[in-house]
């Protein structure tokens, strides 16, 4: 009995130590609430957002370091969002109710406690590295791994209009002043030749505007974004191939295919059943609609 108690105590201590390690890995909260973090981010570039059902995050900057402050999405926030989504769009007072619901959501989000804070250890390009990008084309920069975000016109401190492109590299965004006038910019867009435009200068904007998303890791690595339609496309393709590969004069074993697909893609079970019913109603005509588009 004493041996069992000793083992249980050791397991408890292990769990406690793992909990401490997890807390240290994330870091103690820099702020008490989301509202506190938002207030501290007012003077900087707003990088806020969340993943519905999971978390809400605010990125703040202190002494050249960037911090992601994370609050867990809770049931109350889900209820408020659902209430807003459920509003009758045909009602005369829809916009008033929608704005009121948005204000209620915003007010509640500000009260949510920050669960933990994590610091970005990734380092942006140095001034020398950014200066070395001058004279390079957008095509050359995208070849180096930069991704084009937004572009347009802005005014400098002298009120002069210039063309800009904001590019992302790793977890940081960079503001590029282009060596082009408005006419050249418009022509490049019309001819799908933006890659030929050259950079005059580059400056750091800060953590990417998507920095609230945890797929942008604090060490600078970025998880590849999953294609939201990949699983859907895979189901359509397999369903179509089952019909196409059936022997002449024979009905395809769609029930078997459907059971296999539902086992592999349980979240799409209802859609797979719908495919079955549509095929039973329309036969090969419906199956042809599922054919993968030719490139």
Cross-strand pairs, 52 = none
Contacts of 135 (CB under 8 A, 6+ apart): 179, 198, 199
CA nearest neighbour of 183 among 226, 216, 204, 153: 153
Give me the pLDDT at residue 227, please. 62
Do 111 and 35 meet the contact criterion of CB atoms below 8 Å apart?
A: yes
Q: pLDDT by residue (tens digit) across 244-268?
A: 676 666 777 778 888 888 888 887 7
Q: Higher model confidence: residue 240 or residue 161?
A: 161
Do 265 and 231 meet the contact criterion of CB atoms below 8 Å apart?
A: yes
Q: pLDDT by residue (tens digit) across 101-114?
A: 999 999 999 999 99
List alpha helices for 123-253, DSSP H: 127-131, 138-143, 182-190, 230-244
Q: How many other CB atoms are found less than 10 A from the CB of residue 52?
A: 10
Q: Higher model confidence: residue 235 or residue 135?
A: 135
Question: Span 12-26, mean pLDDT?
Answer: 43
pTM score of the predicted model: 0.66
pLDDT confidence of 286, banded at 50, 70, 90?
Answer: low
pLDDT confidence of 17, banded at 50, 70, 90?
Answer: very low
Write the burial class of residue 266 (CB in 10 Å: 0-12 exposed, 13-18 middle, 19+ buried). Answer: exposed
Token look-up 């207030």 returns: 39
């Amino acid at each position: 009995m004493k041996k069992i108690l000793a083992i249980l105590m050791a397991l408890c201590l292990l769990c406690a130590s793992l909990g401490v390690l997890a807390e240290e890995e994330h870091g103690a909260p820099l702020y008490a609430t989301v509202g506190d973090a938002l207030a501290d981010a007012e003077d900087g570039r707003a990088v806020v957002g969340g993943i519905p059902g999971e978390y809400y995050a605010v990125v703040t900057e202190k002494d050249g370091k960037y911090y992601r402050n994370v609050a867990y999405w809770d049931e109350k926030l889900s209820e408020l969002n659902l209430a807003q989504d459920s509003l009758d769009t045909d009602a005369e007072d829809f916009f008033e109710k929608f704005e009121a619901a948005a204000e209620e959501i915003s007010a509640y989000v500000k009260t949510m406690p920050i669960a933990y804070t994590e610091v970005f250890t990734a380092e942006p390009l140095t001034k020398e590295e950014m200066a070395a990008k001058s004279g390079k084309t957008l095509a050359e920069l995208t070849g180096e791994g930069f991704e084009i975000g937004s572009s347009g016109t802005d005014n400098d401190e002298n009120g002069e209009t210039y063309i800009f492109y904001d590019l992302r590299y790793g977890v940081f965004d960079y503001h590029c002043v282009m060596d082009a006038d408005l006419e050249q910019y418009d022509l490049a867009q019309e001819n799908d030749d933006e890659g030929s435009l050259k950079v005059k200068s580059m400056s750091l904007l800060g953590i990417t505007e998507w920095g609230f998303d945890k797929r942008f890791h604090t060490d600078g690595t970025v998880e590849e974004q999953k294609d939201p339609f990949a699983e859907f496309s895979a189901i359509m393709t397999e369903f179509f191939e089952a019909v196409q590969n059936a022997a002449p004069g024979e009905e395809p074993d769609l029930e078997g295919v459907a059971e296999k697909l539902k086992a592999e893609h349980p979240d799409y079970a209802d859609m797979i059943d719908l495919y079955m019913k549509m095929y039973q109603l329309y036969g090969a005509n419906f199956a042809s609609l599922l054919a993968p588009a030719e490139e």
